[in-house]
Amino acid sequence: MTPFFLLLLLVSVSLTLASSHDYHEALSKSILFFEGQRSGKLPSDQRAGWRRDSALSDGSEAGVDLTGGYYDAGDNVKFGFPMAFTTTMLSWSVIEFGELMPADELRNAAVAIRWATDYLLKTMAHPGLVFVQVTTHSHSFTGIRSGKPY
């Protein structure tokens, strides 16, 4: 009888915990995460108030504007392929589930997608050439991005 009671208690606690998740908050914070990873000139309505403009000269050595996009892996590198994949998955989720999203989060998701696609289009500015990575530093630098001239 005791094992059955423990199992019943475990299931009851699990169901209680599962039903208390705030999925709206989780969605909001996951989109906010993208804003915290932005590179370039940040918009005035940037919700991650601790962030500032960064990497405003990306691509200047090659004579192309590669500002914008998202940093990857918590450092100061922008990788084109992971960014393209992530943007595709985010876009797909909006296509599939956008009507279930609150209007403000749908707008934030659309802005996040646009931020990435604007950058990805810049990486193909020269015919026959695609820039797939932007960095002048290694993965070893994980300091504050704001104000970095590169």
| 125 is a domain residue | yes
Number of structural domains (the chain) is 1
119 part of a folded domain: yes
Look at residue 14 in the predicted model and tell me its pLDDT: 67
Assigned domain for 149 exists? no
Residue 37 belongs to a domain? yes
Structural domain range at position 113 = 24-134
- pTM of the shown model: 0.79
Integer Cα distance of 109 and 114 in angstroms: 9
> HSE on the CB side for 41, CA within 13 Å?
5
Residue 92: count of CB within 10 angstroms of its CB? 10
Q: Is residue 146 part of a domain?
A: no
Q: What is the pLDDT of residue 75?
A: 78
144 located within any domain: no
- pLDDT by 10s per residue, the chain, length 150: 566 666 666 777 666 665 677 778 888 889 999 999 999 999 999 998 888 999 999 999 989 999 999 998 777 889 999 999 999 999 999 999 999 899 999 999 999 999 999 999 999 988 999 999 998 665 555 555 555 544
